[in-house]
Structure 1
Amino acid sequence: MARRKAVTDLPSFDQLMIPTIKALKALGGSGSIEEINTGVYNIAKISEEILQIPHGNGTVNEVDYRLAWSRTYLKKFGLLENSSRGIWALAKADIDTTKLSYIDIVKKVREQDKPVDKKVTNLVEIEHEVAEEIFNSEGWKEKLLNILYNITPAAFERLSQRLLRESGFSQVEVTGKVGDGGIDGKGIVRVSGLLSFHVIFQCKRYKGSVSPSQIRDFRGAMQGRADKGLVITTGTFTREALKEATRDGAPPIDLIDGELLCDKMKELKLGVDIKLIETIEIKNDWFNNL
């Protein structure tokens, strides 16, 4: 990732509030964190270079970290609500962004629950909510990705092979050869048992971002050899790479970044276990009815 640029190049969390509302309105009133953040990038015209600035040593970039603060403040102000499934929505469909002031939002949220001692408690609660959101969405992923960064390239190829098999692909082979245009493997995916598509895939085990030129090179290598292409990385894709992957007139290439890779490993329970903690509650009212 890029080195941290001057603070003035980064929008503050409060400056991202209005773009967050606008992004949600454009999405029809609700959306996932990824959808909202992508909308804000475009509305606020945040450059790719700025998006590569990390927050600390984690996998979250600084802009996304600040967007988490923005959503939490907007929720405290009563403009947003969110579900346990990570979907955020406008509390009201007819929010007029021209009548909103991020300065007023911050001021009113920080003044909630006066007197001063309660104000401090309120700010601690806000920070806790932001930290919890970041941890829930990224904490375990950061740990998992750090492990993946340290396995061998061959092990990562075998993991990708297992991932595709578990996802319903058949005849999945790792075929990586020097000078093979970056093709690491191939497989077949069947749709409804009637149609089949030959897929070749490429594995990129690193922390950086995949560029549009790398997508173009991979597309060139897949020409005439498969129906679809798939790039799997522990890193991210630049916005231009995302556009290149779905460019009109060119064979489409599907992309799996580090975050989606973690989600799929969790879903398929590949090296990731989900443990539910049992809680016991005593119902006092039940005893009163004896």
Structure 2
Amino acid sequence: MTDLRTEIPDFQSIMLPMLKLLANGESKTINEVVKSLATHYNLTDEHLKIKVPSGQMGLFRNRVGWTRSYLKKAGLIKYPERGVYQITDEGKGYLAQNPNKLRMKQLEQFPKYQEWRQTFSEPSAKEKVISRTEEQTPEEVLAATVLELKNELATELLDKLKENSFAYFEKFVIELLQKMGYGEFREESSQHTGQTGDQGIDGIISQDRLGLETVYIQAKRFSNNSVGSPDIRNFIGSLALQGVSKGVFLTTSKFSTSAIQTAIDSKQQKIVLIDGKELTDLAIEYNLGVQVDKTIEIKKMDLDYFEE
């Protein structure tokens, strides 16, 4: 008897057909994409009824979802709105080369994919193949899978923070700091020192109930640009004018090498830098903007039970 599961293409095989499906530049919903790709691969209703091991999603739809995710990481497609996909100029440029395949190895040529991989410390396609073909224990495979899923969640969370408004990002940062156990927090988004070039203070953390010990924060929601040394110097200047010695600078992007060094060199003010990667790690750790999807129980023998 034929195992229909083996007839469902893997997510890498779906990459090029999916990109070609979007080639005309029109936006398509996830349902339209899944339906068109199912037709492309001659998949029947029986194929589409096959679920992932958890039973919560169709296997083919799940693989299309991973395909979509990696194409977006490479900058070949974008999401103009939730659940809707559209090809980018980079995607059109790649198709113009008449490629005969598109897999993880080919994605490594795209700067946006390289940046994403560096941000989340993802191994290259070759390293992934090597690691998954070595003799690994089930625990090692499980740990690697959990990490990959966490990185995927972090990527989606960071994209959402970059899409939303500056005001929303500041609100997110406020709530995150509260969840991390800091004391009373009062929003001070409109407070500025009034000095030329001053970037203002986005919030004040009162570390004790009386507000005797305070930490000032700055939140920068950047889509592409990294935070540079001038931004840190401006923040240090704001702290100095307020007579405050502690500050936290959070961003959705990265800090340049010079920005990091500027924070380190600051003697009077202690500056903590939190980039996009650490920001999403903290959000996931403190369950802000995320929720538990499923819990897997791993059981082992209770040897004490069998003691006579």
Q: Normalised by the size of structure 2, how large is the TM-score?
A: 0.48
> Equivalent of 1:262, from 270, 276, 280?
280
Amino acid at match of 1:176: S
Note closer, same or farther for the CA distance 1:219–1:143 as it changes in structure 2 (3 Å cut): same
- Which residue is 2:186 aligned to? 172
Aligned residues: 190
Shift in Å, 1:142: 0.6
* Aligned pairs for 1:1-290 within 5 A: 54=111, 56=113, 59-61=116-118, 64-66=121-123, 122=133, 132=145, 135-166=148-179, 167-176=181-190, 181-190=198-207, 196-207=212-223, 208-225=225-242, 226-247=244-265, 249-278=267-296
Shift in Å, 1:147: 0.6
Shift in Å, 1:138: 2.0
| Cα shift readout 1:72-103 (whole Å, capped 9, x = no counterpart) | 96xx6xxxxxxxxxxxxxxxxxxxxxxxxxxx
Shift in Å, 1:261: 1.1
Supply the distance in 2 between the matched residues of 1:62 and 1:160 (Cα, whole angstroms).
Answer: 20
Tell which deviates more after alignment, 60-69 or 227-236.
Answer: 60-69
Amino acid at match of 2:277: E
Note closer, same or farther for the CA distance 1:130–1:164 as it changes in structure 2 (3 Å cut): closer
Supply the distance in 1 between the matched residues of 2:123 and 2:239 (Cα, whole angstroms).
Answer: 39
More strand by share: 1
Amino acid at match of 1:158: K
Supply the distance in 1 between the matched residues of 2:254 and 2:204 (Cα, whole angstroms).
Answer: 23
Supply the distance in 2 between the matched residues of 1:266 and 1:62 (Cα, whole angstroms).
Answer: 16
Shift in Å, 1:129: 9.4
Amino acid at match of 1:187: I
Provide the aligned C-alpha RMSD in A: 4.5
| Cα shift readout 1:37-93 (whole Å, capped 9, x = no counterpart) | xxxxxxxxxxxxxxxx945176332894457976996xx6xxxxxxxxxxxxxxxxx
Supply the distance in 2 between the matched residues of 1:278 and 1:64 (Cα, whole angstroms).
Answer: 25
Shift in Å, 1:156: 0.9
Identity fraction in percent:
24
Q: Is the Cα–Cα contact under 8 Å of residues 218 and 249 in structure 2 kept in the other structure?
A: yes
Note closer, same or farther for the CA distance 1:147–1:122 as it changes in structure 2 (3 Å cut): same
| Cα shift readout 1:109-140 (whole Å, capped 9, x = no counterpart) | xxxxxxxxxxxx83799xx9998477245211
Amino acid at match of 1:242: I
Supply the distance in 2 between the matched residues of 1:274 and 1:63 (Cα, whole angstroms).
Answer: 21
Supply the distance in 1 between the matched residues of 2:267 and 2:300 (Cα, whole angstroms).
Answer: 63
Note closer, same or farther for the CA distance 1:257–1:281 as it changes in structure 2 (3 Å cut): closer
Q: Is the Cα–Cα contact under 8 Å of residues 176 and 185 in structure 1 kept in the other structure?
A: yes
Amino acid at match of 1:173: E
Shift in Å, 1:242: 1.5
Q: Is the Cα–Cα contact under 8 Å of residues 228 and 259 in structure 2 kept in the other structure?
A: yes
Amino acid at match of 2:237: G
* Gaps in structure 2 of 5+ consecutive residues: 1-109, 302-308
Shift in Å, 1:232: 1.0
Q: Normalised by the size of structure 1, how large is the TM-score?
A: 0.51
- Which residue is 1:32 aligned to? none
Supply the distance in 2 between the matched residues of 1:215 and 1:234 (Cα, whole angstroms).
Answer: 15
DSSP-derived class of the 2:265 partner: coil
Q: Is the Cα–Cα contact under 8 Å of residues 183 and 200 in structure 1 kept in the other structure?
A: no
